Amino acid sequence: MSEKKLNHVIGGEHVPPASGEYFESTNPATREVLYSAARGEAADVDRAVQSARATFEDARWRDLSQTKRGHLLRRLGDLIGEKAEELARMETLDNGKLLREMAGQMVGLPEYYYYYAGLADKIHGDFIPTSDRTVLNYTMREPLGVVGAITPWNSPLTLTTSKLAPALCAGNTVVIKPSEYTSATILRLAELALEAGLPPGAVNVVTGYGVEAGQPLVDHPALAKISFTGSTATGARIASATAGRFIGSTLELGGKSPNIVFEDANVANAAMGVVAGIFAAAGQTCIAGSRVFAHRSVYDELLERVTERAARIRMGDPLDEATEIGPLAFADQQEKVGGYVDLGRAEGARVLTGGRPSDGGGLGGYFYEPTVLVDVDNSMRVVREEIFGPVCAIMPFDSEEEVVRLANDTEYGLAAGVWTSNLSRAYRMASRLEAGTIWLNTYRAMSPMSPRQGFKSSGVGIEHGTETIKEYTRLKSVWVNTSEEPVADPFVLRS
């Protein structure tokens, strides 16, 4: 067990686990143990939810002006900006993603807090002019209460922020259960929230495993809402666990996104878009463009360009500036990715490049080579199921009609890319593809200002933008009688 022990952050305190037990977190590039984190369970979750509820009801938070809430979020954004380097390094050590990428994410992260800081004093209801001029009707947008946020390991701070910033902006308090693979930066975030002046209990973190700590959070009777990012399988479990309690849930789930290259595209640009779409972050992103469709007339050229670049991707230490792909996040991920590639081979796929696990040139970690599969089709599991690794399947098509059908023939609907120089076609495709985010001649663009939503098995509810505020508030309708006339007897018929 590691010497370095991290405890929950509950009510502004570092709280040891009720069970006294900890679990280890390791560096996936080297398998070295980094630290131990508190192994949370129902008792810890209960303490965190009670603390969040007490803060929610405390006048110092409840009656804080919306402008001041915005100031606190802005201050938290500033602190994250000041600590960007430290946070990026912590995330890279924990999940193996490139330091370059995490540093970029951390530099962009304050923008999320600034965006919702600016929005905090713009949350309001409406005046409704009903037909009776003496009756005033207005609506209020109120916070929900305690929001539970359960997040994955692939971009821990960014994906947690997508929930935390709007939830606090709207006046809620939050209990976060981070992924068991990446507890460190989320605990640090809770410390920074306190430093920024948020009251103790506004941001609580209970670390631990999904079934032991995540499930009790979902099941807690005092929870007003659950906001989850993770796999479709866990999302489905959460949806059924909350269904009978009528609390809201925002679910951001898995994907198997198509990246479509038409014959009129700039193929060199499209090839870079395909490479970025699937090999960035070793394919461990929900929006990975894992199904590539290329028009038959540019299929060979695209294959050549993508395969050539994939074979040259420099794999190694994610802390090294020259590295282009790091390890997968943990042993099971490496096994799962390898298992899918072997399954693809057994189903008849041909591996053009990659297709093997690696130790990262002696580092000892959980690496997997960037892999391109061909001779595949929509009936195969490697094309239908989310692999969440650096594996893309490239398939030819002959017509726009055909590729729309093939691209939409999936249970997922998170994102889609289209490469074409024909504006009319781009416009048509944007409307016909069944996905919540469409990229035309680009891939992976994202902003806190832009709302996003998964279609089909990719999720329910909206994150980012002004739209997400509705997910963290409830609407109240207030009626006021302004008439000075006596209130009529309801049983006397008016003539």
Residue ranges binding ligand NAD (CB under 6 A)? 150-154, 159, 177, 179-180, 209-211, 214-215, 218, 229-231, 234, 237-238, 252-255, 286, 386, 388, 414, 454, 459
* Identity at 282, one-letter amino acid code: A
What are the structure tokens assigned to 369, written together?
């080579």
Select from 173, 227, 115, 151 the least CA-distant residue to 466.
115
Q: Which is nearer to ligand NAD, 152 or 327 (CB)?
A: 152
In whole angstroms, what is the distance from residue 63 CA to residue 53 CA? 15
Q: What is the CA radius of gyration of the chain?
A: 25
Closer to ligand NAD by Cβ: residue 237 or 345: 237
CA angle 124, 164, 52 (to 5 degrees): 90
Any residues with CB less than 8 A from the CB of 166 and at least 6 apart, and which? 116, 119, 468, 469, 471, 472
Nearer to ligand NAD, 285 or 371 (CB): 285
> What's the closest the beta carbon of residue 233 comes to ligand NAD, in angstroms?
7
By DSSP bridging, strand 452-453 and strand 391-397 are: unpaired
> Distance between CA atoms of 172 and 157, rounded to whole angstroms?
19
Retrieve residue 264's tokens: 């009129």
- Give 267-274 contacts, CB < 8 A, sequence gap 24+: 267/298, 267/301, 267/302, 267/305, 268/305, 269/419, 269/441, 270/302, 270/419, 271/302, 271/305, 271/306, 271/309, 272/309, 273/417, 273/419, 273/441, 273/442, 273/443, 274/302, 274/306, 274/392, 274/394, 274/443
DSSP code of residue 389: S
Q: Which two tokens stand for residue 313?
A: 């991707």
| 111 vs 264, beta carbon nearer ligand NAD | 111
- The residue (of 223 and 267) whose beta carbon lies closer to ligand NAD is 223
Quote the least distance from Cβ 293 to ligand NAD, whole Å.
Answer: 20
**Shortest distance, CB of residue 410 to ligand NAD, whole angstroms?**
13
Decide whether 72 or 146 has the Cβ nearer to ligand NAD: 146
Residue from 180, 212, 252, 471 carrying the catalytic annotation: 252
Q: From the CB of 159, what's the least distance to ligand NAD, in Å?
A: 6
CB of 228 to ligand NAD, least distance (A): 7
From 387, 372, 444, 357, select the one nearest 28 (Cα to Cα).
357
Q: Quick one: 95 or 307, whose CB is closer to ligand NAD?
A: 95
* DSSP bridge pairs for 193: none
Active site residue 252: yes
To ligand NAD, the closest distance from the beta carbon of 333 in angstroms equals 8
CA angle 59, 60, 64 (to 5 degrees): 95
Q: What is the Cα–Cα distance from 106 to 157, expressed in whole angstroms? A: 8
> What is the arrangement of strands in the sheet containing 127-128, beginning at the earlier edge strand?
127-128, 135-143, 473-481
Shortest distance in whole angstroms from residue 181 CB to ligand NAD: 7
Q: Which residues are catalytic?
A: 252
